[in-house]
Copies of this chain bind each other. A is one copy, B any other.
Amino acid sequence: MSGYIGLDIGGTKVLGALYNEAGEVVYRCKKKTKVHEGLDKVMAQIFKVLDEIMAATDETIMGIGAGSPGIIKDGHLVVFAPNLPFENFDLGGIIKERYQVPVVIGNDVNVAMYGEWKVSDMETVNNALGVFPGTGVGGAIIIDKQLYVGQGGAAEIGHMVVNPGGAYCGCGTAGCLEAYASKTGIQKAILGQLKKGRVSVLSEAIKNSGAIIKSSVLKDAYDSGDELAVEILDMAAYYLGIAVANLVNIFHPDLIILGGGMMESMGDELLPGIMKAARSHTLAGMLDDVEFRLSSLSDDAGIYGAYRLIKDQIE
């Protein structure tokens, strides 16, 4: 028996899974990325995930696919990653040397989009876009049934400027979508309001969270009607809608997939605001041409896409 490993390296966690010949997950493992402890620690966490999977199976590992944030070149080199300590870093080469199997690395959101594409009926779709708000806001573009990467760094939908002169983003720009619609941006906005003395059920969760707040905690606060949570999350939905409108006006695509940790947890809460803002900012008639779908793989899009990427490449 043989299998493939799909790896999803995020700013918060490293998720890995072993897929058998039937494409089923037979083992999965998750560790914190521990970005704040530096590159060696991040690599140690990645190796822990892979080691645990390797130790848990007798199957022959045919290859490892992985998604990483950032600009990836030639399937192995991470040129730059916004939330990880990778810079001109041969992530693929290092994993390949340690485990002696073929390895392919892709941009995390592109890889997730590839996964969505492979499980859906998306083969019939020519032009599709992915918008994935989570720790950051990822994007992916499929043009004429191919992943579009331009010169390598395309589809940075999270860094579309939706409010010039607005909130600062981690990238240095004022007014990026990511500054409003990522958990990082939302946490910063809520913290800023708490400092002004505003009250929120999120107060303890945010002050106690060493890292990024969980989507499920945001969802509970929103559903309880917490004024601050509703205000900030409605603003996130509004700017996501502006971004979606811009994508519709620019691409007139067949399909837009909304995914990522936030849509997964809070699709019901965010979607009405997204679609309302999208409708008021698209050219007449164009929005109705576009199919919208929530990510069907949810958290598994990354590992599944990574698995399909290496499997399809080897086969």
Contact = CB atoms under 8 A, between A and B. Distances in A.
A188 B289 CA distance: 32
B242 A283 contact: no
Contact of A250 (B157, B173, B285): B157
Given A280-B173, A286-B153, A148 B159 contact: no
A159 B253 contact: no
B246 A151 contact: no
Contact of A242 (B143, B164, B250): B164
B245 A154 contact: no
A163 interface: yes
Interface string A149-160: 111111111011
Contacts of A171: 283-284
Nearest to A289: B151
Copies in the complex: 2
Given A144-B143, A161-B162, A162-B161, A153 B283 contact: yes
Nearest to A150: B252
A284 B172 contact: yes
Contact of A252 (B154, B161, B162, B250): B154
A313 to B, nearest CB: 21
A106 to B, nearest CB: 15
Contacts of A220: none
A254 interface: yes
B160 A249 contact: yes
B157 A148 contact: no
Contacts of A283: 153, 156, 159, 171, 173
B155 A250 contact: yes
B164 A252 contact: no
Nearest to A154: B252
A150 B162 contact: no
Contacts of A285: 80
A136 B249 CA distance: 15
A281 interface: yes
Contacts of A282: 159, 173
Given A143-B144, A143-B148, A286-B153, A161 B281 contact: yes
B249 A156 contact: yes
**5 closest A-B pairs by CB:** A150-B252, A154-B252, A156-B249, A153-B252, A151-B252
